[in-house]
Amino acid sequence: MSANKESWGSRMGLILAMAGNAVGLGNFLRFPVQAVQNGGGAFIIPYLVCFLVMGIPLLWIEWSMGRFGGKSGHHSTPFIVDTMGKSRLWKYIGVFGIWTNIAVASYYCYLESWTMSYVFHSVIGTFSGLDQEGVSNFFNEYVSLGISTLGIPYEPIFFFVLCLLLNTWILSQGLASGVERVAKIGMPLLILFGAFLAYKGFTITAGENGAINDSSVGLNFLWTPNFDQLWSPSVWLAAAGQIFFTLSVGMGTVQCYASYVRSKDDIALNAMSAGWMNEFVEVVLGGAILIPISIGYLGIDRVTELVQHGGLGLAFRTMPYLFYQWGDVLGAVAGVMWFGLLFFAGITSSLAMGTPWIGFLQDEFNWKRKPAAWSFGIFVLVLGMPTVLFFEYGVFDEYDYWAGTVSLVVFALFESILFAWIFGMNKGWREIISGSDIKVPGIYRFIIKFVTPLLLLWVFLGSLFTPKGGDWAAAFSGSWELDDSSIIKKIMNSGLKEQLAAATDAAQIE
Ligand code: PHE
Ligand code: NA
């Protein structure tokens, strides 16, 4: 029990903070890249289905878990789940919901610090007049920590520390006057910048300013359903993974934010407002910038090739160059808007990652908010250093895989079982609909009890035992050889030395 009596300032503030939590770098960088890597139109159907049968149920589960735990003064998952299940085991599973956040924050905040730095460089005109190779070289030098503008040595580290200081400072201001206030400023600006860039993305015309395709080429690539790969489990796994990451479910942040909702207030409608806002920003804005613009100038084949090495390059080494095709002024403005919107998207999410740890220390160890916030900043700095120092060796991607992908699925699987089967569907349903301002469709009672946990189990087992080349038909009819992308193979191969060697080889091939 804690003396922590904080709560959200207003309903609008809560929705914006939750939407800010969900809307993040994932919407603008991860979603388009996942879509391209999984064949564009082949991705979009599984993606939308996963939203309806896993995303929405998990949002309701997590919001109601949070409000339920908040009634007994708990604001972090170890103790929230402890109030729901009798076994001690749950408490330890709940630790995931703090740990994952800190681990994800460790690479996420580094990426967030790039966006800060790139806003700065767009303002001072670093990319103006550079050709594609020049912008690309700047990025290479940046990640190898070679950039030092204005005499700041190790500039990327400087921005990383600055970014963490900013996060720490906002978190130490508290919920309503820190996190909520930032969301109220950041979210509208993000949507404004996003709308401008999406407008530019929608109006790319072949032959103008060096574009080779109309916007429609990229948009059709993304939106024309392609049923060929509809039954490919690897596409489904990617779609499920994106839904988790983008909605911030399976992390512990949604429960934490919801634990500050007053016990009589609505959660069913609030959860939908924030969740659908995330989807709007993801598929409408996120889908209208990176893909149509890069395909407009480079074509589908080239873009597909570029994202095979990960999606960050497209955003940081290609976009700043392409913007300048629109002229010097618009080029700089678009750069500020693009990296500015990424920054707002990033910070409203990284604040969400800090909140569970702070709530945990406050509730259970009576820490004050300020030292708790500082301990988060320092923790992330230390844990994030490997991604900064060894970025080129693939450490960043390792973090994203283990903390940002696998843990989310594992935690979501456990919590959906806890909610529907241990806590019980009757009580669970009552929690969801109590105080509700909408009528929750009855079908979701069935979905939450059966469909969501089974699908999660499938996703988990599927990634545990992915067969070679993702070819399940062959695997079931013959001998089952594990793909290198399966979790089991990854654990077996997880000698860091071999991985670094492999990553170095890959870097040299590039
Ligand atoms: N949902 C965020 C995004 O799309 C990421 C995030 C994950 C935020 C976990 C908070 C917690 O970028
Ligand atoms: Na998101």
Total residues found in the chain within this entry? 510
| Cα separation, 360 vs 356, whole angstroms | 6
Distance (angstroms) between ligand 1 centre and the Cα of 244 equals: 9
Confidence of residue 98 (pLDDT cuts 50, 70, 90): very high
Distance (angstroms) between ligand 1 centre and the Cα of 402 equals: 15
Q: By the 8 A CB rule, do 46 and 235 touch?
A: yes
| Cα separation, 482 vs 91, whole angstroms | 33
Q: What is the mean pLDDT of residues 234-260?
A: 93
pLDDT digits over 419-459, tens only?
999 999 999 999 999 999 999 999 999 999 999 999 999 88
Whether 510 has a pLDDT exceeding 80, the answer reads: no
Atom of ligand 1 nearest to the CA of 24: 12
Whether 1 has a pLDDT exceeding 50, the answer reads: no
Distance (angstroms) between ligand 2 centre and the Cα of 30 equals: 9
Q: By the 8 A CB rule, do 376 and 102 touch?
A: yes
With a threshold of 0.80, does the pTM exceed it? yes
ipTM over 0.95? The verdict is yes
The residue contributing the CA closest to ligand 1 atom 11 is 248
pLDDT digits over 16-54, tens only?
999 999 999 999 999 998 898 888 888 999 999 999 999
Confidence of residue 285 (pLDDT cuts 50, 70, 90): very high
- The pLDDT of residue 2: 52
Share the mean pLDDT of the chain: 92
Amino acid at 492: M
Burial 182-200 (b: 16+ CB within 10 A, else e): bbbebbeebbebbebbbeb
- The pLDDT of residue 501: 59
Distance (angstroms) between ligand 1 centre and the Cα of 336 equals: 22
Whether 233 has a pLDDT exceeding 70, the answer reads: yes
Angle of helix 268-279 relative to helix 11-22, nearest 10 degrees?
Answer: 40
Pocket perturbation via mutation, ligand 1, pick of 34, 102, 245 by most ligand atoms within 8 A of CB: 245
Whether 497 has a pLDDT exceeding 80, the answer reads: no
Within 8 A by CB and 6+ apart from 41, the residues are 221, 222, 223, 224, 225, 226
Distance (angstroms) between ligand 2 centre and the Cα of 263 equals: 26
Q: What is the mean pLDDT of residues 480-495?
A: 81
Q: Is 10 helix (H, G, I), strand (E, B) or coil?
A: coil
- The pLDDT of residue 352: 98
Give the count of beta carbons closer than 10 Å to the beta carbon of residue 446: 12
Pocket perturbation via mutation, ligand 1, pick of 18, 21, 190, 282 by most ligand atoms within 8 A of CB: 21
- The pLDDT of residue 401: 83
Whether 410 has a pLDDT exceeding 80, the answer reads: yes
Task: Decide whether any atom of ligand 1 lies within 6 Å of the 256 Cβ.
Answer: no
Biggest CA-to-CA distance, the chain: 66
Confidence of residue 508 (pLDDT cuts 50, 70, 90): very low
- The pLDDT of residue 505: 57
Q: Give, as residue ranges, everything with CB less than 5 Å from ion ligand 2.
A: 22, 24, 26-27, 246, 278
Distance (angstroms) between ligand 1 centre and the Cα of 344 equals: 12
pLDDT digits over 336-362, tens only?
999 999 999 999 999 999 999 999 999
Task: Decide whether any atom of ligand 1 lies within 6 Å of the 104 Cβ.
Answer: yes
| Cα separation, 258 vs 399, whole angstroms | 27
| Cα separation, 6 vs 385, whole angstroms | 32
- The pLDDT of residue 475: 83
Chain-centroid distance of CA 238 in Å reads 13
Amino acid at 169: W
Burial 211-236 (b: 16+ CB within 10 A, else e): bebbbbbbbebbeeebeebeebbbbb
| Cα separation, 209 vs 192, whole angstroms | 24
Q: By the 8 A CB rule, do 56 and 444 touch?
A: yes
Amino acid at 494: S
- The pLDDT of residue 502: 58
Amino acid at 337: M
Q: By the 8 A CB rule, do 498 and 474 touch?
A: no
Task: Decide whether any atom of ligand 1 lies within 6 Å of the 352 Cβ.
Answer: yes
Q: What is the mean pLDDT of residues 363-380?
A: 96
* Alpha-carbon separation of residue 185 from 22, 355, 393 (angstroms): 16, 19, 37
- The pLDDT of residue 106: 94
Q: What is the mean pLDDT of residues 185-214?
A: 96
Whether 504 has a pLDDT exceeding 70, the answer reads: no
Least confident of 155-159, 199-203, 483-487: 483-487
SS3 of 181-249: the string is: HHHHHHHHHHHHHHHHHHHHHHCCCCCCCCCCCCHHHHHHHHHCCCHHHCCCHHHHHHHHHHHHHHHCC
pLDDT digits over 292-307, tens only?
999 999 999 999 998 8
| Cα separation, 261 vs 9, whole angstroms | 10
Give the count of beta carbons closer than 10 Å to the beta carbon of residue 210: 11
Atom of ligand 1 nearest to the CA of 27: 4
Confidence of residue 75 (pLDDT cuts 50, 70, 90): very high
Task: Decide whether any atom of ligand 1 lies within 6 Å of the 24 Cβ.
Answer: yes
